Chains A and B, each alone.
Chain A
């Protein structure tokens, strides 16, 4: 048993707010679960030993630099520092409502309590921890038929030595459209769990980004969980850097028929970083489609873990599901663990997955060299292209334009460690 956990459970048990009944259920589940070890399948390749006896401060009043603005994005920014909402929720476009979880008006609590643990399965150990401890976070409601034209950017930052647990709960009414950016970054010694849940209504469209850029000593364990209703659409992009421990669980539940999900994820790892991505696509209803592309470049002595599961339930006939995972391993000390899984109980479906771990394509390398580029330059260009192909696919190209220089900088660092 972890002393950190025992401490956290004590704190959680003492919490008394409008979500307490739900928190209590999760607390019981947590008490029945075993602390994850390398024998726990979901944590086979990533150790959480460093958390066993860890101690963090609960909050700090540290003064924070304003987060970097993203050119031309015109986003609605919500800054959470150590899990506490620091922004004023100002004027919002009509049909969009945002509340702090701590100050949720009584009339909003009923639906919000349904979203809470409504999309996130209880199997995630730290998801349960977040259920119990996340008293801060935001609640976002997009009314039926409303198209929110400005992206909503939830910016989560940690201060040195702090622990924080944040939650994002979002509901899109039928035919609604919205863009959300979950922006996690920072490298100071800290620990955050950031879990988000989305209920996407009938024929609604959600464009989602998780910037998982906690790096250095910032331990980050989080998850993004989606319920897709009839004919709804999800387009999600995960951008990952690694840290001393960085883990993300994605769950997409096709609850209604004819829902579509497109997931892209890419990560660039350096130093002794770990990035562990688990995704699970649950095709529960029929006629759904899902397409997932995951790419990683792993340098120095870093390690990448990917577990991608597609689960076709008995009634999910006519499903189309594809998953592709490609990795470039740049160094002798780096490690890649990948496990694409299919679990299929319906016969009239088309499912495929593929995974490769390889070097840079020799033919492409020769092509570039035959035009006069040096091998080193060609290698960088091809590695960047490998990732940039997914950056190009981001629906919001303003965000992509902001991201590219960050990625280039990371490439330069990775190259220098080779």
Chain B
């Protein structure tokens, strides 16, 4: 039984095809890293699977733990156990982090037929999650991501992941813009959630993050398709050699696309 099974996924944005027949199969407990040049469709994969408006699925299926995702609204996918840690989380002034997370946790509990948490119970959970990602408690009171630094936003995403306890987590460049210490915090948060019944997709440009979050598989995405799959060692090869040897482009072309 797969945790996530994506088959022949084609998707476009404003009539531009971004995903072009993508297949991916993830078993419970596995961590899959997705790497690839800029514009390969890495972030698009996260958006398409999580149901962002404006991303049109043309073909294919994506099944999460027996649930066909692509038919569902974004919130229904979240309630089915999907979590996306955003590369650029949006700021929402006026809505406190606390209020936001309690409403989210309760919405997901309600969908599972569970009662809403008492404010006190939730606060205990939230405090614990905060300390895990080393965010001061004051961040619970602040507006969602409002005025947070890049690193604080990433840690706030992980904090939400800890509270929502999803089945499948997609981390979209959760390492970008982080120093070594912050990277460690993010990785610790992720690793603390690793278990046999939870899976991860780690989207990244750099092998560095994968030293902290050890992947079971590494995939190379190019032009909307997975063109190579290997173990953790593939990330090292890519770090050393770039993508050109895989995509068949000359090194200069690759440099241009990533510029």
Contact = CB atoms under 8 A, between A and B. Distances in A.
Is there any pair of Cβ atoms, one from A and one from B, under 8 angstroms apart in the complex?
yes
B44 interface: no
A361 B145 CA distance: 15
B94 A377 contact: no
A386 B94 CA distance: 6
A296 to B, nearest CB: 14
Interface string A354-396: 0000000111101111111111011001101111111110000
B246 interface: no
B107 A373 contact: yes
A109 B165 CA distance: 69
B93 A389 contact: yes
Interface residues of A, number: 27
Interface stretch (B84-92, B194-202, B217-225): B84-92
Interface string B47-88: 000111100000000000000000001110111000110100
Interface stretch (B95-103, B125-133, B183-191): B95-103
A371 B51 contact: no
Given A366-B74, A382-B95, A389-B93, A372 B104 contact: yes
A387 B53 CA distance: 25
Chief secondary structure at chain A's binding surface: helix
5 contacts: A366-B53, A372-B105, A372-B107, A374-B75, A386-B94
Contacts of B103: 373, 377, 381
Interface hub of B50, B51, B75 (most chain A Cβ within 10 A):
B75
B204 interface: no
Given A370-B84, A375-B75, A364 B92 contact: yes
Contact of B95 (A366, A374, A375, A385): A385
A368 B73 CA distance: 12
Interface of A: 361-364, 366-375, 377-378, 381-382, 384-392
B24 to A, nearest CB: 19
B164 interface: yes
A374 B103 CA distance: 10
B160 interface: yes
A366 B52 contact: yes
B143 interface: yes
Given A371-B75, A386-B94, A389-B143, 14 more contacts: A364-B92, A368-B100, A370-B74, A370-B77, A371-B100, A372-B75, A372-B79, A372-B111, A373-B107, A377-B107, A381-B103, A384-B95, A387-B94, A389-B93
Nearest to B92: A364
Interface hub of A375, A381, A386, A391 (most chain B Cβ within 10 A):
A381
B20 interface: no
Interface hub of A366, A372, A385, A387 (most chain B Cβ within 10 A):
A372
Contacts of B160: 371
A392 B144 CA distance: 14
